Amino acid sequence: MGLYEKALRDRRAELPNSGFGLFDRALARREQSGVAGAVPATAFPPPEAVSEAFPFSAEDIHELALELRRQSAGVDELLAAFARISEALPLDCLALLIPEEQGTRIAASLGFRLVARACSDCLLEELARAACEDPENPSTRRLLGSLLYAPEGLRIRGFVVRDSEGLPKALWVYADTRLDASSTAVCAAFDELFAADGRSPAAPPTRQEILDAERAATKLARASGHAAVFLFELGDFIDRLDRRVPGLERAAVEACLRTAAERVLKNAGAAFCLSEERLAACFYATTPLDAELALAQFRKSLKKLLPFLSIAELPAGKAIGLDLAYEGAKALLARFLA
């Protein structure tokens, strides 16, 4: 049950604390105006037919921004912000775009019709520059049109989140016909809201190249030393998450897990996304390792870096310990990852 629905239920039940929260105030304004519910995400009335303003005030949006700032920062903070904003605010369209090595990928979206989930010909920096200068420029709409479709007449708005070096780490794209009838303060409050999720100075999560078992084994093999290798099946985990948080893209979840694994391992290992939604990670050492103990410690560290995604319980994974000097270590590793 979303918080908006909870507010409605509590008001109807006449609970003692109902009527005082952000959602209750918005609900009261909607009831006073005679509006029964939000405009469906797929229905876009002509701009001239829209007279209703957005049903939240600038103060309400400011409260939500403060809430986002209090959330635990992690590798998955952008996805956490999308989940919270999409639940709290009934925007017609909302999308989160992140960079990939060779272009731009949609990390999450609701309301927009997707043209493609990723575009190798369009860099996020190029999109961000266009969105900042003039989101309604025809050339900007053409750039966004390689990923998202929005009907003519629907005003597109954007906000760029930057990393510590000033480079774009994410682009928020949103649209709602009711914003055109809203005050300047309400529209400006959205900038504060989308800026609230950029607390971490780190670069955004990346999935990088998808490897098969043989190539991953080649990259992970070494001439000497020992290793604990972990394999996680992500399909069921992403399914559980999708049921709880609509709109997240599966590839973006994979990217968060791979990036978190890489940050846990630092210079002592490597992590790769494998085909069929799997994650491989390897921890190197100079002495033999207890692979199961290393796996338990690795999962614990992953959960700390993924406070939002951990709501769906990370996959258990499996582990194998290897003496990398063993002649058949690479073949054994390939079989384990297959």
- Phi then psi for residue 324, to 5 deg, are -70, -15
How high is the mean pLDDT of the chain?
84
Domain limits, CATH 3.30.450, in the chain: 38-195
Given this model, what pLDDT does residue 49 score? 52
Extract the runs of DSSP E, i.e. beta strands, from the chain: 93-100, 103-110, 113-114, 118-119, 148-149, 157-162, 168-175, 210-211, 226-233, 269-274, 278-285, 318-323
pLDDT tier at 137 (50, 70, 90 boundaries)? confident
Domain limits, CATH 3.30.70.270, in the chain: 210-337
pTM more than 0.85: no
The second-level CATH assignment, the architecture, of 210-337 is 2-Layer Sandwich (3.30)
DSSP labels, 263-323: HHHGGGEEEEEETTTEEEEEEEESS---HHHHHHHHHHHHHHH-TTGGGG-----EEEEEE
The second-level CATH assignment, the architecture, of 38-195 is 2-Layer Sandwich (3.30)
Residue-wise pLDDT for 43-102, tens only, equals 444 545 555 899 999 999 999 999 999 988 889 999 999 999 999 999 999 999 999 877
Residue-wise pLDDT for 245-291, tens only, equals 999 999 999 999 999 999 999 989 999 999 999 999 999 999 999 99
Q: Which residue has the higher pLDDT, 238 or 195?
A: 238
* Mean pLDDT along residues 131-140: 74
Given this model, what pLDDT does residue 112 score? 93
- Cα separation, 93 vs 156, whole angstroms: 9
Given this model, what pLDDT does residue 201 score? 64
| 34 pLDDT above the threshold of 80 | no
The half-sphere exposure of 32 on its side-chain side, counting CA atoms within 13 A, is 8
Of the listed ranges 164-173, 176-185, 261-270, the least confidently predicted one is: 164-173
